[in-house]
Amino acid sequence: MGTRPNGGNVKSFLTIRSIVSVLFRRSQSEGDLDEELRVHVRNRADDLERSGLTRAEAERRARIEFGGHEKFKEECREALGARSLEIFLEDVRFAARLLRKSPGFAAVAVLTLALGIGANTAIFSVVDTVLLRPLPYRNPLRLVWASEHFALGPSTVVSADFPAWRDHNHAFEQVEAFGGTSGANLTGAGEPARVSVTSVTTGFFSMLGVAAVLGRTFLADEGKQGQEHVALLSEALWRNRFGADPRIIGETIRLDGTGYAVVGVIPETVRYPRADVWTPLALDAAIFSPHSPRWMMLAAIGRLKPDTEISQAQSDLEVIAQEMDKEYPPAAARFRGHVRVEIIPLHELLVHNARSLLMILLGSTALVLLIGCANVANLLLSRGVVRVKEMAVRAALGAKRGRLIRQLLTEGFLLVTIGGVLGCAGGFSATRILRELIPASLPASIRLDLRIFGFSAAISAAALLAFGLVPAWIASRTDVNETLKEGGVRLGASPGTHRLASIFSAGQIALSLTLLVGAGLLLRSFLRLTEVDLGFDPHGLLIATVERPLTAAAFDSQQHSAFFQASLERVRNLPGVRDAALTQRYPLGDPRNATLALHIQGSENFQPPQPISITGISSDYFHLMRTPLVKGRTFSDRDAADAPGVAIVNGALARVAFAGRDAIGQHISFGGPTAPWKEVVGVAANVREDALDREPLPEIFVPHLQQPSFAMTIVVRTDSDPHLLEEGVRRAVQSVDRNQPLAATAVMEEVIARSVAPRHFRMLLFGLFALLALVLAVLVNLGCASRSGRIAGTFSSWLSVKGSRWPSLASV
């Protein structure tokens, strides 16, 4: 026996069918209702005829009993739940007709909303990608970064403390570490290349919850001494260098001449630490002993136990650090001082520098949207002035105030829907531009998904309420009798409407001025930054950094110096090269090699106020950079490795170190009490070495032959485009050693541009938002002026018809 249909299910089905009919088969639905009414009337007439009435009388009474056709159809639609939808669609169609009759108003309102919504969508997509999305690791909220703060050292972890942290803590499920990222020459597979290499403890990736996309991660014993050298490749290196070949597993790559067996490929979602190749951190007992001189600085990441607070973990590690203080020899006390442990969430570490910038930008786009809403509200108020009679007629015909407000909000809904769609499209297009403008410190892989669509929908709804509700409420407050009486033409808005429009205008102007002032200050700051004296001429300079392999063998200073000198001569002979020089660090480049251990002969009590940079250069470096020599001489070929030590100081160091004395002829030493003395032979002009917005720091220059390094930068000056020399410089270097790649190349003007990229990014976006505010203000003023002109025309016509006693006013 069949089951009886559930009444609720049947009603739901009929409701859905009714809604579908209203949406897609309106004419058929109307015909069905008409036919159903005729059937009911005919059946009732048949019943009445059988009771003794004539056919004509029976049909008349049947029609009276069922009432009007339209009322019957309305009751049917309400019973099936489709009436509200039908009313809404009627309002939408009516609103569309009105907007078609006012294309200027519609265009200005839609464009205003599209600009505001689009700007918010574009910036929120960056905020969502950088700040809101969790890290792509297992339980990322429990991952923290831990560091030690020493009296004279960096905020990292001494390798000798790490085993105690790892083995004796009570707050972490797991603690792992990695060393600093360094470079290595990758050879044996195509052209030699410089890659970044990071050593991690073997449990590092398992702690993060990261699985290899190919192969495996490290095994526990692969970090022990004597084990085979193994390596993990980044997904980017695997795809770009090895063509995503799955047969790479088990193959051997050579890093600085040492073979490493590839055991896996790490997915590109790993953001910290970034590297091309990962190797196991060698568990050498020497670097883990407090009495060893071979300490390493490590970065530690831990996974907190469930329900463990950061403060608990911090107290736990501080207790361990205090216990470790007893293990260190007295000589380490000055370095360690009072050790303070800091623990912060890993996500916060990665986004800290970007948070304030992005929040300011998001706030600025919110101001743009508020300005847009104020503008559209003003347009609607202006439009409401000439629709007063329409509202009065509809109210006189029985429309309640709520019905009028719903109609007006539907018009706003149509505007915000069109503006929202256009704004989303524009915002998504703007993200492509943002990818080019975003500084390197922010991730450029902006994701667009349902979260962004949801945000756009939410701000569109908020915009509708912000600009639509108050004008709709005011427009619906119509005095029917006053408006419809004979000759009753509303010639202008009420005083209350004028006050509200003035408030909207004042708010719009205030917000626009806020953005304009902010953009102006940023522009002035940026322009002043670009006008600072660099201390050198950046035009036509190519930077080519070369890093020699670091092997287990002793550092061969003579071999490295000979290689760099030969490479320099080959580069100088290239066509288009005016000159070339060597330096261990170029302006605005890598972190400085700095020291606090500076000694001045005759000034034993001198203490440097800040770390002093030490840079090895070739004899013609200052001439190539066009850096003036204030006093003394530059280096020459006589300043060889076995010659007496010489140095050149910059003006900043001469001022603080020699206290008004002549720096020339003074003797200085650095690097320890046994370091040789060097005679100061020159004073160079200050150079902005670290940042354009920082005062030049004290600096010492020495001949690179007297302070050899495995890494040097060849600086090339040309009268043509420096990019054209990149390939020639690479070939010149490889003509000396075919396995030597260039670690990096750059044009100095681009280096300067990158150094100010965050400021440029802020200035550009704030300027764009200020420009948007101006555009919105112009658009709304044009729209309101157009509407006011139409009202003024109506007013003049009315005065003329009435035979006004003030013809001059009518002519105006």
Strand, helix or coil for residue 451: helix
Q: What is the rounded end-to-end Cα distance, in angstroms, of the chain?
A: 86
Task: Dump pLDDT digits (tens) for 353-384.
Answer: 778 778 888 887 888 788 778 777 777 777 76
Task: Dump pLDDT digits (tens) for 241-282.
Answer: 999 999 999 999 999 888 999 999 999 888 888 899 999 987
Question: What rounded mean pLDDT belongs to the chain?
Answer: 78
Task: Dump pLDDT digits (tens) for 407-425.
Answer: 778 888 888 888 888 888 8
* Residue 752 φ then ψ, to 5°: -65, -40
Give 487's pLDDT tier (boundaries 50, 70, 90).
Answer: very low
Lowest mean pLDDT among 117-131, 396-410, 761-775: 396-410
Give 330's pLDDT tier (boundaries 50, 70, 90).
Answer: low
809, with CB counted inside 10 A (0-12, 13-18, 19+), is exposed
Is pLDDT above 90 for 762?
no
Percent of the chain with pLDDT over 90: 24
Q: Which residue has the higher pLDDT, 291 or 765?
A: 765
Q: Which residue has the higher pLDDT, 174 or 758?
A: 174
Which pLDDT score is estimated for 49? 78
Listed in order, strand segments (DSSP E) in 611-677 are: 612-617, 629-632, 646-650, 667-670
Per-domain residue ranges for the chain?
7-81, 83-137+352-533+748-781, 140-351, 549-739
Task: Dump pLDDT digits (tens) for 562-580.
Answer: 999 999 999 999 999 999 9
Give 69's pLDDT tier (boundaries 50, 70, 90).
Answer: low
146-166 b/e (C-beta count within 10 Å ≥ 16 → b): bbbebeeeeebbbbbbbbbbb
Give this prediction's pTM: 0.71
Lowest mean pLDDT among 80-84, 113-117, 179-183, 300-304: 80-84
How many Cα neighbours within 13 Å face the side chain of 539? 2
Lowest mean pLDDT among 2-11, 72-81, 545-554, 728-737: 2-11
Copy the structure tokens of residue 651. Answer: 């003006």
Give 24's pLDDT tier (boundaries 50, 70, 90).
Answer: very low
Q: What is the mean pLDDT of residues 186-211?
A: 89
- Rounded to the nearest 10 degrees, the angle between the axes of helix 103-127 and helix 346-385 is 170
Which pLDDT score is estimated for 736? 94
Which pLDDT score is estimated for 542? 96
Percent of the chain with pLDDT over 70: 73
Task: Dump pLDDT digits (tens) for 619-668.
Answer: 999 999 999 999 999 999 899 888 999 999 998 888 888 877 888 998 98
Q: How far apart are CA 49 and CA 45, in angstroms?
A: 6
Q: Which residue has the higher pLDDT, 261 or 288?
A: 261
Peptide bond connecting 134 to the previous residue in cis, omega within 30 degrees of 0: no
Q: Which residue has the higher pLDDT, 557 or 635?
A: 635
Which pLDDT score is estimated for 695? 84
Is pLDDT above 50 for 794?
no
Q: Residue for token digits 């706030």?
A: 363
User: Residue 567: in which H helix or E strand, if any?
Assistant: helix 557-572
Decide: 351 and 316 in contact? Cβ < 8 Å: no
Query: Residue 241 corresponds to which amino acid?
Result: R
Q: Which residue has the higher pLDDT, 584 or 436?
A: 584
Which pLDDT score is estimated for 3? 42
Decide: 382 and 788 in contact? Cβ < 8 Å: yes
Decide: 782 and 776 in contact? Cβ < 8 Å: no
Q: Which residue has the higher pLDDT, 166 or 775?
A: 166
Q: What is the mean pLDDT of residues 733-747?
A: 91
Is pLDDT above 80 for 683?
yes
Q: How far apart are CA 383 and CA 109, in angstroms?
A: 11
Decide: 371 and 497 in contact? Cβ < 8 Å: no
Is pLDDT above 90 for 223?
no
Is pLDDT above 80 for 685?
yes
Which pLDDT score is estimated for 581? 95
Task: Dump pLDDT digits (tens) for 696-712.
Answer: 888 999 999 998 888 89
Which pLDDT score is estimated for 806? 39
Q: How far apart are CA 101 and CA 383, in angstroms?
A: 12
Give 30's pLDDT tier (boundaries 50, 70, 90).
Answer: low
Copy the structure tokens of residue 136. Answer: 């792509």
598-612 b/e (C-beta count within 10 Å ≥ 16 → b): bbbeeeeeeebeeeb
Which pLDDT score is estimated for 785? 53
Q: What is the mean pLDDT of residues 110-131?
A: 84
Q: How far apart are CA 326 and CA 323, in angstroms?
A: 6
